[in-house]
Chains A and B, each alone.
Chain A
Amino acid sequence: MPEQLLFAAEVTLNGLMAGVLYALVALGFVLIYKASGIFNYAQGVMALFAALTLVGIMEGQVPFAHLINITFGTEIHHFGWHVPAFLAIVLTVGVMVVFAWCVNHFVMRHLINQEPIILFMATIGLAYFLEGVGDLMWGSDIKRLDVGLPQGINEVIDQVTFDAFGYGFFIDNLDMVATVIAVILVAGLVIFSQYTKQGRALRAVADDHQAALSVGISLNYIWVLVWSIAGFVALVAGIMWGAKSGVQFSLSLIALKALPVLLIGGFTSIPGAIIGGLIIGVGEKLFEFAIGPMIGGATENWFAYVLALIFLVIRPQGLFGEKIIERV
């Protein structure tokens, strides 16, 4: 096989795996948008917050340590224990559920029937608030997140492809794990929404609020549920991203990468979020590989947005979208 093709194949594979992460973040958006018509700008910050909380709990960090120390003149920082990863993840899920409840109780339920733009503004406020809270709770330094996921080049794939083509593919173990976990997560969500009482109620609310009310569904319950699920998805994305490049505030910027994913996939479609994520992941890697060198590189910063713009012009509702997104 010609060398260029092999490179391209490797780049495509890596792109697919990067796309999985985009898809995960976009999925969080779609869930909330479908159920409540809210475009949740805070989804990226939620991923950051979840990852920060996870690290904090694992390391036994005292939340709000800085605030406490300043107020009481103390010098506490750590509880002096380490929490195992699994337990810490469970606790973090708990924190995200509490967060979901607070969002609904203190903000969203007061904004029922407001214009989408008002709801959107509320989530922008929420994003900055949550960023501040995360900062105050856990500090703003970059943190290493190690939940025991395998990292580094996968030797087996390297060896096998080398034997077959005379060129060893570089595939990161972490990317592979992320892909597997994302697939499990999506399968779980599908089973949940198709076969459980709550899933059915969730689909009902996403379809028609009035009808959902009449069959005995509590909208508040569903909204807390859907924000909790979005929080969980954010946690998963936060773990993957955090394990890859450390937990830092740039994590919240992946939300901006999810936007072109949504423009391509449609705001209301779960398959759309996944396929949109993969298209962008592969597209930006291949573009950088093939065209990048000719135009000075760093195309990954803007390629996704240009692609999304092209999609906007050709197919404004996205690949799988139901509604024209100009409503947002």
Chain B
Amino acid sequence: MNQMAGNYITEDGRKIGGVIMEMKHITLRFGGVVAIKDISFDIHEGEIRAIIGPNGAGKSSMLNVISGFYHPQEGEVWFHGAKRPPMKPYQVAEQGIARTFQNIALFDGMSVLDNIMTGRLTHMKTGILAQALWKGAAEREEVTNREVVEKIIDFLEIQHIRKTPVGRLPYGLKKRVELARALAAEPKLLLLDEPMAGMNVEEKEDMSRYILDTNDEFGTTIALIEHDMGVVMDLSDRVVVMDYGQKIGDGTPDEVRNNQQVIDAYLGVAHD
């Protein structure tokens, strides 16, 4: 594999494109705490990129920087070959970057269907006045959005709970609905913060399959954080390893697995 050339072919024969996102020398501090210390890495189009590391390593912070929730003190974020100015989360979402949260952030009062529909907001162009005056356009838009949402509901096999208020769902299904909402945005880049945390083995297998299928069927580029090393090794094309805010490894799962620094810092540490 030749990273520098940009395009490469994975072991399972998928074609990976050029760099879609590049983090350059990112440093993020919270008062005295350095959550991210001078980290650089890139994400290629079509790949599944994992970020791993022990608790408090700064993984979520990194995802928050990408999605505009945190703003680094130093460093640059490049997206689609252009340097990104500091952006609010909603602007990042409008650029085609969707995400899920480590602690699940859903609209508990809304049904599953409504939750997933909110994922379409960035695709709804018709303004208030147009909606009031020119029903046709708004209706056509609604139909298209519904079609996309239905496709995702089928894809993630959640037809049976479509009308259920999200607040009543068990944990594993909530995680799936959150993924559905992110997918509804038809993102160019999908960020998943511990999509399998707290799941049992069976649920983890399902989620792994959905992630792989998403990447496969829609060609979505995915960056994900995961604790379970087995899962990470199975899913990802390349892995960034963080520890105490620093990058201590970057490469294919095999390369990372055999990196002594990674073994010391991460693999030796027991995790839940």
Contact = CB atoms under 8 A, between A and B. Distances in A.
Interface of A: 195-198, 200-201, 203-204, 206-208, 210-219, 322
A215 B108 CA distance: 15
Interface string B40-73: 0000000000000000000000000001010000
B189 to A, nearest CB: 13
A14 to B, nearest CB: 35
Contacts of B106: 208, 211
Interface string B66-100: 01010000000000000000001110011000111
A208 B121 contact: no
A49 B100 CA distance: 43
- Taking residues whose C-beta sits less than 8 angstroms from the other chain, chain B's interface range is 20 to 34
Contact of B107 (A198, A211, A219): A211
A211 B103 CA distance: 11
Nearest to B184: A215
Nearest to B124: A197
B126 A215 contact: no
Nearest to A222: B90
Nearest to B166: A207
Contacts of B89: 213-214
Residue among B67, B105, B122, B182 with most chain A CB within 10 A: B105
Contacts of B67: 214
A214 B107 CA distance: 12
B143 to A, nearest CB: 13
A215 B69 contact: no
B247 interface: no
A217 B118 CA distance: 9
Nearest to B99: A214
B110 A203 contact: yes
Nearest to A201: B121
Given A203-B107, A207-B109, A216 B121 contact: yes
Contacts of A217: 90, 121
B117 interface: yes
A204 B118 contact: yes
A210 B69 CA distance: 9
Interface of B: 67, 69, 88-90, 93-94, 98-101, 105-110, 114, 117-119, 121-122, 124, 126-128, 131, 138, 181-182, 185
B85 to A, nearest CB: 16
Contacts of A196: 128, 131, 138
A210 B103 CA distance: 11
B66 to A, nearest CB: 12
Nearest to B182: A214
A9 B191 CA distance: 62
B138 to A, nearest CB: 8
Nearest to A221: B90
B90 A216 contact: yes
Contacts of A203: 107, 109-110, 114
Given A196-B128, A197-B121, A200-B121, A218 B90 contact: yes
A206 B94 CA distance: 20
A245 to B, nearest CB: 33
Contacts of A215: 93, 98, 118-119, 121-122, 181, 185
Contacts of B105: 208, 210-211, 214
A210 B122 CA distance: 16
A216 B110 contact: no
Contacts of A213: 69, 88-90, 93
A197 B105 CA distance: 20
A214 B93 contact: yes
Contacts of B126: 197
Contacts of B88: 213, 218
